[in-house]
Amino acid sequence: MFFLGIANVLIGATARNIGLTPFQIGLFLAVQNIGFMIGVSVAGALADTYDKPRILLVGSLILAGSFFTFYVTGALWLNLVIMLLIGLGVGTYEGVTDPMLLEMHDKNQSLHINVNHFFVTFGSILMTVYLIFLQMNWRQSLTQAAVVVLLLAVFFALARLKSKPGQAGDYLDRIRILSRERLVVVLFIATLLVVGVELGTTGIVTTYLMELQGFTQETSKIGLVTFLSGMALGRLIIGFFIRGDQAVRYILLLFGLATIFFGLMVTLRVGQWTYVTVFLAGLAMSALVPLIITLAGQAYPEMAGTVTGSIKVAIPIGGIIIPFLMSLVARAASFQVSLLIFPLALLLAFVLLWRELRRSPTPA
């Protein structure tokens, strides 16, 4: 999952070094999201019926090869194919690791899922620090990452995990069952909204700090790292506090706190104290996606891979819809007004989940 974090910021951190135009950046991100959606849904479904380390082996080989070859040549079409494969590789990791952890650990499942997703944020932070602050050679860094992913492939080739092949039934049957479950639909929408806010914040926070809070280029980048640090720390701390069936309570609590902190972040003008609100916003929303995944896996243990993979399809969709909606509002009104989408999206997710989870936190 560390390498998922690296892939998430790959284009944003290297675009200027490569010389990509805004159109090309959007194209690369769109292609990566398509690959991710395919990878997470297919790998998640396969995880219910096939050996999980073998699936991760295939994903590792795809990702390593993609890291090795990305922008070795300047051919745009070839690099778009490679970016699609990067999305497939990290989508495979995302689709398999959480159901594997749910299968391996009967206790403290939310802790293991939170720690797993901590490494996504940690990878994003490290890539940002390396390439923005330290100005390291991005090509060399990506090659080093590819070597490590190859070592992971060797590990997955040797790993053995006791599984239950064929326990979940036909894939289409599983999808039909899950599509009729209101809980799954609500969790999908909540994931779409929270990920959209997370990715939207990651993409816009430096601009927000410079244009509306008076920060400089350097201090605004520190703001981005502050937000990501809040995300990373929150996933570790909150994961240690949650036990057993407490996921529902914490999901609602964190959505409420995230709504408040994001509202304060985008409305207050407090100078350097903005770092505090940025950090608290990241801290509050940090564990939401891991907890939603944990709840889904616990609610449907016989098809954990399929349900978590289906919900994770909302990740790239949210990363497209929320920023696009912000751009429309910014053009029609103002940048300041568009930022209100963040707390409003979190509030909507809170209301939907509160109504559904109050009714029944588990399927009938």
For residue 141, the surrounding DSSP H or E stretch is helix 138-158
Q: pLDDT exceeding 70 applies to what percent of the chain?
A: 78
pTM over 0.85: no
Binned at pLDDT 50, 70 and 90, residue 363 comes out as very low
- What are the start and end residues of each CATH 1.20.1250.20 domain in the chain? 1-161, 169-364
> To which CATH superfamily is domain 1-161 assigned?
MFS general substrate transporter like domains (1.20.1250.20)
Average pLDDT over residues 198-211: 81
Q: How far is CA 267 from CA 104, 258, 282, 333, in A?
A: 44, 14, 16, 16
Is a pLDDT exceeding 80 seen at residue 246? no
> To which CATH superfamily is domain 169-364 assigned?
MFS general substrate transporter like domains (1.20.1250.20)
pLDDT of residue 350: 94
pLDDT of residue 159: 74
Summarised one tens digit per residue, pLDDT across range 86-129 is 989 888 888 887 777 767 666 666 666 767 666 666 666 676 66
Averaged pLDDT of the chain: 80
Summarised one tens digit per residue, pLDDT across range 22-76 is 577 767 877 888 888 888 888 877 877 778 888 888 988 998 899 889 888 888 8
Picking from 350, 328, 349, the residue whose alpha carbon sits closest to that of residue 338 is 328
Binned at pLDDT 50, 70 and 90, residue 191 comes out as very high
Is a pLDDT exceeding 70 seen at residue 216? yes
| Residues contacting residue 103 through CB under 8 Å, at least 6 positions apart | 52, 161, 163, 304
3-state DSSP helix/strand/coil % of the chain, to nearest 5: 85, 0, 15
Residue 66 and residue 20: Cα distance in Å, rounded?
Answer: 18
Q: How far is CA 337 from CA 100, 120, 122, 306, 326, in A?
A: 42, 30, 31, 38, 9
